Structure 1
Amino acid sequence: MDYIIEMLNIRKEFPGIVANDDVTLQVKKGEIHALLGENGAGKSTLMNVLFGLYQPEKGEIRVRGERVHINSPNKANDLGIGMVHQHFMLVDTFTVSENIILGKEPKTLGRIDRKRAARDVRDISGRYGLQIDPEAKVADISVGMQQRAEILKTLYRGADILIFDEPTAVLTPHEIQELIQIMKNLVNEGKSIILITHKLKEIMEVCDRVTIIRKGKGITTLDVAQTDQDELASLMVGREVSFKTDKQPADPKQEVLSLSDVTVKDARGVEAVKQLSLSVRAGEIVGIAGVDGNGQSELIEAITGLRKTHAGTITLNGRQLQNMPPRKMTEAGIGHIPQDRHKHGLVLDFPIGENIVLQSYYQKPYSSFGILNKHAIYDKARSLIEEYDVRTPDEYTPARALSGGNQQKAIIGREVDRNPDLLIAAQPTRGLDVGAIEFVHKKLIEQRDAGKAVLLLSFELDEIMNLSDRIAVIFEGSIIANVNPLETSEQELGLLMAGSKQMEAGKIHD
């Protein structure tokens, strides 16, 4: 059989760990081929080998039947291989067009021809249904649009084999559907796609075949049409996985968090949150449902002290906290699992052990008279790494060396272990596999059942529906409806999130 890509018996080692152990991947021309595995299973490592970022210790790579040595991303580009990374490689202050041509600038008489560049970008984006403004600054466009810019960057360089690394981890449900259509358009144009993911629903919807990796080893390759989500989940994790969250009905007690007429401005000084009122009680999970960009980020930042409130009050256990510094907020009893783990959750160059005490390193037993007690810090880290199944060579490994899912588990362990009165979980399972998602959901429900208040922000509708005891729908910075998840559907929730049925929703549910 003719394969466009063959990775045969690949072995890749790092100090203390074998990331890929004799893995074989064979991709046919014109297919969407999923690479499925748990966090830290070795999916991204295998693709980084294909893209020339890593060199394997053993194995060979064939492209279009020819044996090749890919020693850099430039060599991969020359072979027609492009990669859309999980964390985008864009320059915020440049325009879309400038980012796309970076390193491959069209020139006329020795000068960069910006008009030609913009025209080329428009032509490619039109051809593949990637509508995007070439002149927009990257800092000003949505995450979904930034991803389109990344895809265009690979197409501009002539890629006909595209690697997508967890492409839907940061997208809203609507953007995910748009991306699926884009992938179908690319395949119709003769491209081949390797999709790194652990979202089983997307594999079933868009992929032709799937290769499963577990703990660095290749398990099997299946035709998607001949399998189902349950089989894929158990092959990926090595045991049966429950997709339904078991929980008793909530028994809410006293009010823990109260927001009254809160107004928050975004970075441009525009009101992102408008006179918003909301309460969360002990012993309940309140989910915030909304399309990205409707004020959720600004709201969470205001409650955690990362952003000033313009008006209104934020009260925790009867004490007003608005505009207090983040440390005062955490000391008052707020735990925060941030939606951007790299920006607000970790110091990537610190060991994972030190990241685990970031919120409490200045307190006993981790420090005394300003001197850190490394023994106590790493003892604590070891126990949480074990309890939360954080896959890392050891507690001294830099946080950036861990997979995204294992970084997330470390943050969740840190925040839950502090036992806060209010736990804010913003996108807590972003980038996690089904086994880890099941674990995190259990932890959030344990917090609720222990009498804590949990505020959940998620763009995953099934997560909001599964976990929440109450759902507050946010639209253009305001709560437009409060719904009971047992009395609504994903379709109705989706309509509310889009701002339709506002009046009816107000009548029915408030």
Structure 2
Amino acid sequence: MLLQMDKITKKYGEFSANRGIDFSLRAGEVHAIVGENGAGKTTLMRILYGMEQPTSGSIRLNGKEVTFSSPLDAIHHGIGMVHQHFMLFPSFTIAENIVIGNEPGSSARFDRKQAVKIVDGLCDQYGMKVDPRAVTGSSAPGIQQRVEILKVLYQGAEIIILDEPTGVLTPMEVQELLQAIKLLTKQGKSFILISHKLNEVLDVADRITVLRDGAVTGTVEKGETDANQLSGMMVGRELAELKKNPVDPGDKVLEVSDVTIRGTKGKPVLDGINLAVQAGEVVGIAGISGNGQSELLQVISGLMQPDQGRITLGSTDVTGMSTRKIREHGLAHIPEDRYVWGANREATVLDTGLMGHHRRLQQGGFLKLKDIRSLVSGWVSKFSIKTGSLETSTQYLSGGNLQKLIVARELEQGTPFLIAAEPTRGVDIGAMETIHGELLKRRDEGTGILLVSSELTEILKLSDRVLVMYEGRIAGELPAQEATEEKLGLLMAGGSIQ
């Protein structure tokens, strides 16, 4: 056995994040770890990578007991980790990011040509193509993912930990990553894959370990299980089938008319966008990241101003209004990036839940703290948000638990129109079931919902109509009953359907 973690326990005060976990990894295999948010997956891997110290338990590598006091120790023992949120310098070139920490040249002069040569060699050796001279921050998420993997390979990693590696990738980029993992295992590398996406796990993993509440509920070979069994092991119950009632649209709650944003190089970022959302329907927007979806949402919510065109909420022209005014006219917004747009890392769970509700939850200029605590406590219970207390800083929540808090906050705004951008990004299958059910409940109650998601299965499951964006334009529209992954994929790539 290449790696063995025995009886790993990690306590934070009275709370046990890991409880006596046994985990092993064979040479040349992909061993996936799945479980709900807060099940202890990332904590276990942070221990393996030297970022945390176990309260008790041991780690053996090639049969020899080892301890890692830092990530540098883990790297020296051939263990690398690619984190859920990329840890790259956006202003550096790809080559500079890959060789950082072990740069070619002397202490006085960095040899850029040699760095490019090294990266070209890595690309050839591992079949992962990148442009070493490109600026990292201008590269697509799929390329940045490759950069992270090439970086740990350059550091000499034989064991590579991937923490939610496909969360920001397009379907095409996901397939490229899974193929790269398969190729690397054939070359002798071993992978530990943390993921919520069971279809991807079942595609690439050899073995799967399921965690629940910090303990192992089972380890199974891929050929001996399926998504239903794994789901039950993760959540401890059978998941309910999502029920979608027939759509009965009402009046328009959003109208976007001829909206254009001119790009810096002459090419429009948004080019004459026209769309509408009616009360009681879900309109999905599919598209590869970078085709104008983010800018469209920012224009609708007042974070950007259009160069031309009009945004109407209900019967009110809100073009040019502030974000606060637009929200007051009936908009709630689950943002696509929970950290950039959805929360302040230093704010408490209570304060984060309060955002956007504070003006109605006050009396005589004072916040009604009792009502606020009751409201946020209800969300924590309903959405199974794992937190020590309402005073816990959101920086200590897992990404999925923070996502659930933001979703609950925006759903409870009670507005006639809701933007739901990547609403289930980074959440587990149980939370996904809850969020999808709540979105359809709001839709049945008459809320108009604009859904933007990189997950085509989510678009197809929830939408009544699907629009596809390509290069800043609406490339096509399909009713739900006619939309398929194949048709949407063609439109997303700039093709057409007959």
User: TM-score normalised by the shorter chain: which range applies?
Assistant: over 0.9
How far apart, in 2, do the equivalents of 1:268 and 1:62 lie? 55
- Name the structure 1 match of 2:342: 345
Q: CA deviation at 1:17?
A: 2.0
How far apart, in 2, do the equivalents of 1:276 and 1:16 lie? 54
Q: What SS is found at the alignment partner of 1:411?
A: helix
Judge conservation of contact 1:471–1:482 (CA < 8 Å) in 2: yes
| Residues 258-312 of structure 1 deviation map (CA, whole Å, 9 limit, x = unaligned) | 0011112457775211101000000000000111111111111111111121111
How far apart, in 1, do the equivalents of 2:354 and 2:264 lie? 30
How far apart, in 1, do the equivalents of 2:66 and 2:305 lie? 54
Change (3 A) 1:270 1:91: farther
- Name the structure 1 match of 2:254: 257
Matched, 1:51 2:49: yes
Give the TM-score taking structure 2 as reference length.
0.97
How far apart, in 1, do the equivalents of 2:377 and 2:250 lie? 35
Judge conservation of contact 2:466–2:483 (CA < 8 Å) in 1: no
| Residues 313-332 of structure 1 deviation map (CA, whole Å, 9 limit, x = unaligned) | 11000211123221112111
Q: CA deviation at 1:5?
A: 1.2
Matched, 1:381 2:376: yes
Give the TM-score taking structure 1 as reference length.
0.95
How far apart, in 2, do the equivalents of 1:4 and 1:241 lie? 35
Judge conservation of contact 2:260–2:272 (CA < 8 Å) in 1: yes
| Residues 230-252 of structure 1 deviation map (CA, whole Å, 9 limit, x = unaligned) | 1111011111124x521111100
Matches within 5 A, 1:58-207: 58-108=56-106, 110-207=108-205
How far apart, in 2, do the equivalents of 1:273 and 1:399 lie? 34
Matches within 5 A, 1:32-51: 32-51=30-49
Matches within 5 A, 1:179-258: 179-242=177-240, 244-258=241-255
Q: CA deviation at 1:100?
A: 1.6
How far apart, in 2, do the equivalents of 1:153 and 1:226 lie? 34
How far apart, in 2, do the equivalents of 1:45 and 1:212 lie? 14
Alignment-mate amino acid for residue 333 of structure 2: H
Change (3 A) 1:116 1:372: farther
Matched, 1:325 2:313: no
- Name the structure 2 match of 1:447: 442
- Name the structure 2 match of 1:508: none
Q: CA deviation at 1:367?
A: 6.6
Judge conservation of contact 1:360–1:366 (CA < 8 Å) in 2: no
How far apart, in 2, do the equivalents of 1:267 and 1:238 lie? 52
How far apart, in 2, do the equivalents of 1:345 and 1:359 lie? 11
Judge conservation of contact 1:53–1:72 (CA < 8 Å) in 2: yes
Q: What SS is found at the alignment partner of 2:303?
A: coil
Q: CA deviation at 1:386?
A: 1.5
Q: Which runs of 5+ in 2 are unaligned?
A: none
Task: Give the aligned length.
Answer: 498
Judge conservation of contact 2:383–2:431 (CA < 8 Å) in 1: no
Q: CA deviation at 1:488?
A: 3.0
Alignment-mate amino acid for residue 283 of structure 1: G
| Residues 396-419 of structure 1 deviation map (CA, whole Å, 9 limit, x = unaligned) | 111111111111110011001111
Judge conservation of contact 1:55–1:71 (CA < 8 Å) in 2: yes
Alignment-mate amino acid for residue 473 of structure 2: S
- Name the structure 1 match of 2:361: 365
- Name the structure 2 match of 1:277: 274
Q: CA deviation at 1:364?
A: 3.9
How far apart, in 2, do the equivalents of 1:92 and 1:109 lie? 23
Q: CA deviation at 1:383?
A: 2.0
Alignment-mate amino acid for residue 182 of structure 1: A
Does 375-384 or 52-61 show the bigger shift?
A: 375-384
Q: What SS is found at the alignment partner of 2:386?
A: coil
Decide which of 388, 394, 401 is 2:389's aligned counterpart. 394
Decide which of 425, 435, 457 is 1:462's aligned counterpart. 457
Change (3 A) 1:95 1:368: farther
Q: CA deviation at 1:365?
A: 2.5
Q: What SS is found at the alignment partner of 1:117?
A: helix
The RMSD of aligned alpha carbons is 1.5
Q: What SS is found at the alignment partner of 1:108?
A: coil
How far apart, in 2, do the equivalents of 1:231 and 1:203 lie? 13
Q: CA deviation at 1:15?
A: 3.6
How far apart, in 2, do the equivalents of 1:132 and 1:373 lie? 54
Q: What SS is found at the alignment partner of 1:271?
A: coil
Change (3 A) 1:366 1:54: farther
Change (3 A) 1:296 1:143: same
How far apart, in 2, do the equivalents of 1:160 and 1:318 lie? 60
Change (3 A) 1:283 1:267: farther
Q: CA deviation at 1:119?
A: 1.0
Does 282-291 or 491-500 show the bigger shift?
A: 491-500
Alignment-mate amino acid for residue 4 of structure 1: L
Decide which of 8, 11, 21 is 1:13's aligned counterpart. 11
How far apart, in 2, do the equivalents of 1:88 and 1:299 lie? 25
Alignment-mate amino acid for residue 262 of structure 1: V
How many percent of aligned residue pairs carry the same amino acid? 43
Q: Which runs of 5+ in 1 are unaligned?
A: 505-510
Alignment-mate amino acid for residue 327 of structure 1: R
How far apart, in 2, do the equivalents of 1:268 and 1:220 lie? 54
Decide which of 383, 386, 406 is 1:411's aligned counterpart. 406
Q: CA deviation at 1:489?
A: 2.0
- Name the structure 2 match of 1:299: 296
How far apart, in 2, do the equivalents of 1:497 and 1:26 lie? 40
Judge conservation of contact 2:4–2:60 (CA < 8 Å) in 1: yes
Alignment-mate amino acid for residue 323 of structure 1: G
How far apart, in 2, do the equivalents of 1:433 and 1:265 lie? 38
